Amino acid sequence: MKKFSTITLVLAVSFPLLHLTSVSAQEQKAPLSAKCAFLPDAPDKHVVVKGDTLWGISGRFLQNPWCWPEVWGMNKDEIKNPHWIYPDQIVYFDRVNGRLRLGNAVGNGSDGSANGLQRLKPQIRTEGLGSNAIPAIPSNVIEPFLSQPLIVEEGDLLTAPRIVETQEGRVYLGKGDKAYVRGDLKGGTSFQVFRPSTPLRDPDTKKVIAYESVYLGTIKLERTAKTADGADTFIVVNSKEEMTVGDRLKPIPPSPILNYVPHISERPVKARVMSIYGGVAAGGQNNIVSVNRGSDDGLDLGSVLELGRYGRLIKDKTDGKKLVRLPDETYGRLFIFRTFKKVSYGLVMQVTDTVSVGDVANSPDKVEE
């Protein structure tokens, strides 16, 4: 887990979630959008337990879990920061102001707190900084996809350093073996090794825009080349699969942040499903899919898209068999947890139908009251 300063943590804990008993005048005047309505049977409170997720808690109160930032009154900067909520804290439904609050129960109010509730205050955590905070979505499902370079875009593939020879001419390399590499390391010393595998074609343009690659392991620079035509020497640190000549290198990414806040991207996004991980034809709940839009298109970590498929074109048998386009059908949601320039990975959430390659994945419409 990436380390954050004490100040960052205090801000993340305090400001989005601090006020339980007081509400600003600005917040009182800001109505929620129509799509961010609370469920008719929403509970008055929820005690956070280990295993909860932001998505799951939001779904207990809201019709659309991507409304999480709106009901907390979070701004754009707060959305981008980790949203720390811990087990044993209590999420309250402020029905008067239509907002969620975070507080702690403190008995029957004999300590002077109103209604037996304690407003959260900034706290310094000296152990396990953020380690017990609940994630936005089930972390065990997406962890293998957070640090391995499974998506490699075409531009990166062309410029990636490559293994040109193996120790003693071996066919395959394992842990502790030497690999000889050519290419621009850009000052890096630790790299992941991957092998381009499945080309990903944009369903709209039919062009290959990226490759779903096989992660092989990691290697570390031992000695740089002495001449312009020389090769750098690397040592295999760990090997998930055997490496060989032609395999490519990519810098090891920083430790990922799991506490994404579900939200709608700032710019409307219209995407298509390019692949379902594992090479299967159809997917469902908790499957990983890739879409043909990325950070260049406005997607960021925590963006939520609505999954659907284009309405079928049918013949109207009641009017001379003229062609009629049926409405597009929405059947689920996609939570974006890793973005590249032109491609993103998403976790399939709350589906009522199967996911297929070519299905649409669009930003939810912002319908105002």
Tell me what percent of the residues of the chain surpass a pLDDT of 70.
Answer: 80
Instruction: Please indicate, yes or no, whether residues 107 and 157 belong to a single structural domain of this protein.
Output: no
Give the CATH number for residue 342.
Answer: 2.40.10.410
> Which of 188, 219, 251 is at the close of a domain?
251
Confidence of residue 32 (pLDDT cuts 50, 70, 90): low
Spatial CA neighbour of 310 closest among 272, 345, 346, 284 = 272
Q: Is residue 258 part of a domain?
A: no
Residue 289 has pLDDT above 90, yes or no: yes
Q: Under a CB-based contact definition with an 8 Å cutoff, are residues 268 and 216 in contact? A: no
Predicted confidence (pLDDT) per residue in 228-249, tens digit: 999 999 999 999 899 999 999 9
Mean pLDDT for the stretch of residues 271-289: 88
Query: What pLDDT does 130 receive?
Result: 59
CA nearest to 212, candidates 280, 133, 300: 280
- Looking at residue 109, its pLDDT comes to 41
10 closest CA partner among 115, 82, 108, 97 = 82
Q: Which of 251, 278, 305 is the last residue of a domain?
A: 251
Listed residues 113, 140, 167: the one ending a domain: 140
**Between these two residues, 106 and 146, which has the higher pLDDT value?**
146
Dump pLDDT digits (tens) for 34-87.
678 899 999 999 999 998 988 999 999 998 888 888 888 887 777 776 557 889
pLDDT digits (tens, 9 = 90+) for 97-128: 888 888 875 444 434 344 444 444 333 333 33
DSSP, residue by residue, 254-283: PPPP--PPPB--SS--EEEEEEETTT-SEE
Q: pTM for this one?
A: 0.77
For 303-312, write each residue's pLDDT tens digit: 999 999 888 8
> Does residue 83 fall inside a structural domain?
yes
For 205-218, give one letter per residue: b (16+ CB within 10 A) or e: eeeebbbbbbbbbb
- pLDDT value at 341 more than 50: yes
Q: Tokens 């709608």 map to which residue?
A: 264
> 28 or 268: which carries more pLDDT confidence?
268
Q: Does the residue 74 lie in any domain?
A: yes
**Both 14 and 97 in a single domain?**
yes
User: 12: exposed, middle or buried (C-beta count within 10 Å: 0-12, 13-18, 19+)?
Assistant: buried
Same domain, 157 and 131: no
Same domain, 33 and 106: yes
Rounded to an integer, what distance in angstroms lies between the CA atom of residue 96 and that of residue 73? 15
Residues 88 and 120 in one domain: yes
> Is residue 206, in this structure, part of any structural domain at all?
yes
Asked whether residue 109 is domain-assigned, the answer is: yes
Confidence (pLDDT) at 121: 36
3-state SS string over 179-232? Answer: EEEECCCCCCCEEEEEEEEEEEECCCCCCEEEEEEEEEEEEEEEECCCCCCCCE
Q: Are residues 79 and 161 in the same domain?
A: no
192 and 135 housed in the same domain: no
- Same domain membership, residue 87 and residue 18: yes
pLDDT of 28 above 50? no
Tens of pLDDT, residue by residue over 166-189, are 988 888 898 999 999 999 999 999
pLDDT at 343: 94
Whether 223 shows a pLDDT value over 60: the answer reads yes
Q: 75 phi and psi, to 5 degrees?
A: -95, 180
257 inside domain: no
Same domain, 287 and 243: no
Residue 198 covered by a domain: yes
**Do both 185 and 297 map to the same domain?**
no
Higher-confidence position of 229 and 319:
229
Range of the domain at 73: 6-140
pLDDT in tens, 349-366: 988 999 999 999 999 875
- In a domain, residue 263? The reply is no
Question: Can you give the pLDDT at residue 21?
Answer: 35
Number of domains in the chain: 3
In this structure, the answer to whether residues 27 and 134 fall within a common structural domain is yes
- Same domain? 130 vs 243: no
pLDDT at residue 189 in the model: 94
**Confidence tier at 33 by pLDDT (50, 70, 90):** low
All residues at 6 or more sequence positions from 29 whose CB lies less than 8 Å from its CB, including other chains: none
Read off the DSSP letter of residue 172. S
Angle at the Cα of 160 from the Cα atoms of 155 and 163, rounded to 5 degrees: 145
